[in-house]
Chains A and B, each alone.
Chain A
């Protein structure tokens, strides 16, 4: 993880060769455009809103393993950018991770740790452990002091048993029997606190997770659309994509729009514009 900070320091202080020759970088962040963006901010331009997953993500431990759940809405400010995005990310065959916060950060951080876990599996020849993923995530997030805005619910089953953790953007973690994160976490936690008990069966667990996510979907404006569920047990993982669709699209026009050929005015013969000079 140390190399990430190192290469970015070089980009910041040196900065010369990197502009001219666009050599594929060695990884990590590059801060080339920070000065220019500061200048634009000072001139009165506001920074853009990033796509967030204002989310409901949950996890619980049941008798045979771990169940994770998530809604499927991605927002860009007040607009729903994606009605069916995937928030349960693959980390290892026996470990999955739900992500809330800035969408680019959750995707990048889970992809990166997933690759590191694969390399670790090759090096050790063993199945990955959940605490390995946890430590890799928390040390990356801590080193960026919360600026990488990823709030995660990490769950999996390894040789030592089922584990469920939450990871906060600043790098702190909790180990819990049931957990919720995201803007809909309070709505989901209300369901968990009233109905959770130790030793749930698989069907009871899936039902409870779906209820908690639905509670987030209907009561929180940042969460919506469908319910994704992932059931992880010793030796087997089931990813139930769109397990429930409580928000079907019902406003379809039966006739639809029918645009006849030639309806749109064109200026003449088709042409291919030249690509700009380099």
Chain B
């Protein structure tokens, strides 16, 4: 089994009209056993910048701590928050530094840049950046997520529709992946405020919360 499949994860981020959404699953496992159903994978760097870290959970937490440390130093020196593009370069450099003994995590970075233009980006575990204009995905469910996002995504969605789309894409993809699931955690960031929701997903036979059309 690959090291990325040790804990299991699913992450997606999508761009909408002057907003972005980032979503993750909530399962933490040890191989095939579930250890937690409320694991946090999306972390806030500042009000307009979030990073989700998939892959090995311990490396994700270590990376997050190092990044917050570096961002706080930057805030002290520059007296402002980091732009998402700058932050993406920082993450890339930290990952590439460990080229021959890498951190086993794949970040998904989402933020509002200058003029509140949404910015999303993902990287492999060595820091090769992929900037996308529509959506980025990461984690064990990434193959399903690629398919779901590719078909469900529309450009310039308003925030409510964006929330629904990313939630449905995430839930339908993790349904097809044993290693991720137990609901979802979606953060929707607009110019004015951030909305964060926990999604529920049925486990077992009875659907609890997901409404059928």
Contact = CB atoms under 8 A, between A and B. Distances in A.
Interface residues of B, number: 66
Contacts of B68: 275, 278
Nearest to B167: A264
Interface string A251-267: 00100111111111111
Contacts of A82: 130, 132
Contacts of A85: 130
B146 to A, nearest CB: 7
Interface string B85-97: 0000000100111
B3 A48 contact: yes
Question: Which interface residue of B55, B126, B128, B213 has the most chain A CB atoms within 10 A?
Answer: B128
Given A45-B6, A79-B146, A276 B197 contact: no
A34 B210 contact: no
B97 A270 contact: no
A203 interface: no
SS class of chain A's interface: helix, strand, loop or mixed?
Answer: loop
B124 interface: yes
A31 B99 CA distance: 8
Contacts of A79: 142-143, 146
A9 to B, nearest CB: 13
Contact of B197 (A32, A257, A270): A270
B199 A266 contact: yes
B168 A264 contact: yes
A51 interface: yes
A91 to B, nearest CB: 18
Interface string B1-22: 1111010000000000000000
B104 A51 contact: no
A229 B148 CA distance: 32
B127 A104 contact: yes
B108 interface: no
A64 interface: no
Query: What 6 pairs across the A-B complex have the smallest Cβ distances?
Result: A265-B209, A259-B164, A104-B126, A34-B101, A103-B128, A104-B128
Interface of A: 22, 24-25, 28-37, 40, 44-48, 50-51, 74, 76, 79, 81-82, 85, 102-105, 107-108, 147-148, 253, 256-268, 270-273, 275-276, 278
A267 B37 CA distance: 14
Interface string B198-213: 1111000000111101
A1 B6 CA distance: 38
Contact of A266 (B61, B142, B209): B209
Interface of B: 1-4, 6, 40, 43-44, 55, 61, 64-66, 68-70, 73, 92, 95-104, 123-130, 132, 142-143, 146, 151-152, 154, 160-161, 163-165, 167-168, 171, 183, 185, 194-201, 208-211, 213
By secondary structure, the B interface counts as mixed
Contacts of B92: 104, 107
B124 A45 contact: no
B100 A257 contact: no
17 contacts: A25-B97, A29-B97, A29-B99, A32-B98, A46-B3, A51-B128, A102-B126, A102-B128, A103-B128, A105-B126, A107-B128, A258-B161, A263-B168, A266-B200, A268-B198, A275-B43, A278-B65
A147 B100 CA distance: 8
B98 A264 contact: no
Nearest to A77: B143
A265 B6 CA distance: 29
A199 B182 CA distance: 64
Contacts of A272: 44, 194, 196
Nearest to B69: A22
